[in-house]
C-alpha cells in the first residue's frame, strides 16, 4: 500500500483522534487514521435509516423495570373510571 502526506486543520486532526479512540473502544484493538477515514466515508455513503439504530441502545433489566413501572403509574393516573 502506498502512502501520501496530506495537510489537515488542527480541528480535523483532533476530530480524527477522537473518532479513532471511539473505534478502538468498540473493536478492542488499535486502529489507524485510515480506519477512521474509512469509517467516516462509510457513514457518509450510507443513507440514514431508523433500522440502522436497532440494538444501539443497551438497557439493563433494572432500567427496563424502572421504565415499565413509571409507565404503569402514568397509565393508572390517566385511567378513566368506568361509568
Ordered by start, the domain boundaries in the chain are 8-46
Q: What is the C-alpha separation between 48 and 44, in angstroms, rounded? A: 9
User: pLDDT at position 44, please?
Assistant: 67
Query: Does this model's pTM top 0.75?
Result: no
* DSSP result, 1-24: ---------HHHHHHHHHHHHHHH
Mean pLDDT of the chain: 84
2-7: average pLDDT? 88
**C-alpha torsion sign, points 65, 70, 71, 77:** positive
pLDDT band at 62 (very low <50, low <70, confident <90, very high): very high
User: pLDDT at position 39, please?
Assistant: 86
48-67: average pLDDT? 82
| C-alpha closest to that of 15 among 46, 37, 45, 48 | 37
- Distances in Å between the Cα of 26 and the Cα atoms of 4, 19, 69 are 27, 11, 32
Amino acid at each position: 500500500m502506498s502512502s501520501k502526506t496530506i495537510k489537515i486543520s488542527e480541528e480535523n486532526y483532533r476530530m480524527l483522534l477522537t473518532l479513532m479512540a471511539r473505534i478502538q473502544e468498540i473493536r478492542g484493538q488499535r486502529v489507524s487514521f485510515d480506519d477512521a477515514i474509512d469509517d467516516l466515508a462509510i457513514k457518509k455513503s450510507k443513507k440514514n435509516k431508523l433500522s440502522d439504530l436497532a440494538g444501539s441502545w443497551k438497557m439493563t433489566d433494572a432500567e427496563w423495570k424502572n421504565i415499565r413501572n413509571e409507565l404503569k403509574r402514568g397509565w393508572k393516573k390517566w385511567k378513566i373510571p368506568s361509568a
